[in-house]
Amino acid sequence: MRGIGKRFPGVVALDDVSLEVGRGEVVALCGENGAGKSTLMKILGGVYQPDAGEIQFDGKPVRINRVNDSLALGVAFIHQELNVLDNLDVAANVFLGREPRTGPLPLIDGRKIHADTEGLLKRIDLDVSSHARLDALSLAQQQMVEIAKALSLHARLIIMDEPTSCLTLKETDRLLELIGELRATGVSIIYISHRLGEVSRCADRVVVLRDGKNSGELRGAAIHHDRIVSLMVGRDLKVTRTAGAPTTAPDFLQVRDLQTSRYPDKRIHLSAARGEILGIAGLIGAGRSEMAKALVGLDPFARGEVLLDGVRVPVGEPRTAIDRGLCLVPEDRRGEGLVTAMTVRENITLPSLRSFASLFLISRAQERTATDAQITALRIKTPSGEALALNLSGGNQQKIVLGKWLARNPRVLILDEPTRGIDVGAKGEIYRLMRELAERGTAILMISSDMEEVLHVSDRVAVMHEGAIAGVLPRSECTEQAIMQLAVGRKIAAAQP
């Protein structure tokens, strides 16, 4: 890709960007949110058309006007935002639009589709049935289905845009092994990730974008966390472990005998102090997101008791939970956290409209003031508060979802994968905001699959296993080994019940 340029209304997304990938090479594409990484890949994938520049494949100029043109060249794209049909089963999603046919009519060969899909699922160590519907799977499992879909294409070049953003260590390790296997067979990989440890493990070369332009390139032994960050943000970035302040009201949030619809035979017991950041760790399918949704009333079949500062919050009533100050930033930002056709302002103020209204009329001036405050605090890259959320990068969309709940000054804030798709510079800002909220008395439950994040931010860590809390670790006992032992169901002496 040479001299690629792309503009959107009010935004220059790419300015004279170039990228080369060799056969059997893993090239990591890094940059802050809004640097242009996803836009560049969507041009290669046929989703967007460039305003300037050219693309060559095997030394020959090519035109990629649509997704099928990219597929015909042997390019597979695993998008940051999942492209799945959740009303279909796993096999139907893997072979969507490419279903093998049989017989004189010809009819879809369902037996072959499921047999081939089962082989792909086994290859990526995903323990689900090819007959399972997508809406019955977690977001992480859906991500693995997308990876299986890419493998089914027998692609020559696979674009992976934040493929591990919601995967745990085990699934991430398997994916990195798979990348090595693909490289050995001559498949090329473009790997986009904000997890720079993964980049250092798998990349032959790193290409960095900053503000829609090429910032630099690193090869081999030169690929190092600090050098990547320096190219991304234009400065050295020091990240230190956040120090927790003394907490008050140790049982500010109490959860007793909570049962979710996914694990109706298990009961969750949990407490969080005012001013505490409680990390929630566990493997995929452990029930972390299901617990979060039950706490804010999104699971209509949930049972149990939730107490906030000694006052009962009815389970199954989202509006009451929000009014009492219990808020959730969901894992699936586009499906559950945003109205993408609305503006940044409309999304940020949506849960708080009553506070901006007088005699049923909404004050646009107050909305704009509140929106500008969140744009500044979270450093959301947007032309204005009136820009459509749809046109912002994934990381900036995540910041909008966070900002709309911060605007309500929550008493308990549940963050499900809060830095998914957010760059290393913005992560530090999110952590700082979390700590400031905690210091103001907010209890924070942080669900994260990023072990480094869990260890870096949490005051205590509660580990889930098969729908229940396996144990709670104090900060002094929080290690990767201790967390993983609890996550797989092993009891350890340091953990509280």
Query: DSSP for 42-111?
Result: HHHTTSS--SEEEEEETTEEE---SHHHHHHTTEEEE-SS----TTSBHHHHHTTT---EETTTTEE-HH
Q: How many secondary structure helices (H) and strands (E) does the chain include? A: 16, 24
What is the pLDDT averaged over residues 321-330?
93
pLDDT at 171: 78
Q: What is the mean pLDDT of residues 295-304?
A: 92
Helix (H) or strand (E) holding 177: helix 169-184
Instruction: Tell me the average pLDDT across 178-191.
Output: 92
Count the neighbouring beta carbons within 10 Å of the beta carbon of residue 272. Answer: 25
- The pLDDT value recorded for residue 243 is 54
pLDDT at 206: 96
- Structure confidence at residue 239 (pLDDT): 44
Provide the mean pLDDT of the chain.
88
In this prediction, residue 215 carries a pLDDT of 93
Amino acid 268: pLDDT: 95
For residue 338, what are its two tokens?
A: 């945003």
CA–CA distance from 469 to each of 280, 298, 328, 461 (Å)? Answer: 9, 20, 19, 10
Element (H, E) at 362: strand 361-362
For the segment 446-458, the average pLDDT, to the nearest whole number, is: 89
Average pLDDT over residues 280-295: 89
Identify the pLDDT of residue 244: 55
Task: Determine the Cα–Cα distance for residues 383 and 92; give it in Å rounded to an integer.
Answer: 40
**pLDDT of 209 above 90:** yes
pLDDT score, position 343: 96
**Span 212-220, mean pLDDT?**
93
Helix, strand, or coil here: 430?
Answer: helix
The CATH architecture that domain 2-233 belongs to is: 3-Layer(aba) Sandwich (3.40)
- Which top CATH class is 248-487? alpha beta
Q: Which two tokens stand for residue 107?
A: 């009819």
CA distance 496 to 476: 13
Most confident range, picked from 47-56, 139-148, 393-402: 47-56
The band of 359, judged by pLDDT with boundaries at 50, 70 and 90, is: confident
Query: In this model, does residue 240 exceed pLDDT 70?
Result: no
Residue 347 has pLDDT above 80, yes or no: yes
| pLDDT value, residue 273 | 95
pLDDT of residue 248: 66
pLDDT 10s digits, 117-161:
999 999 888 889 999 999 888 877 888 898 899 889 888 999 998
| Model pLDDT for residues 365-382, shown as the tens digit of each residue | 999 999 999 999 888 889
Residue 238, pLDDT score: 47
Residue 451 pLDDT > 90, yes or no? Answer: no
With a CB cutoff of 8 Å and minimum separation 6, the contacts of 84 are 93, 134, 142, 145, 146
Q: Residue 237 — pLDDT band, cuts 50, 70, 90?
A: very low
| Arithmetic mean of pLDDT, 163-169 | 76
pLDDT tens, residue by residue, 461-493: 999 998 999 999 999 899 888 888 898 787 877
Q: Tell me the average pLDDT across 63-78.
A: 92
Q: How far is CA 138 from CA 5, 142, 167, in A?
A: 37, 6, 10
Model confidence at 364, in pLDDT bands (50, 70, 90)? very high
Residue 33 to residue 211: CA distance in whole angstroms? 9
Q: Decide: helix, strand or coil at residue 206.
A: strand
Domain ranges of the chain: 2-233, 248-487
Closest by CA to 413, choosing from 474, 475, 322, 333, is: 322
For residue 64, pLDDT beyond 80? yes
Condensed to tens digits (0 to 9), the pLDDT of residues 348-357 reads 999 999 889 8
**pLDDT higher than 80, residue 425:** no
Pick the closest to residue 144 from 82, 227, 58, 202 (CA basis). Answer: 82
pLDDT at 1 over 90: yes
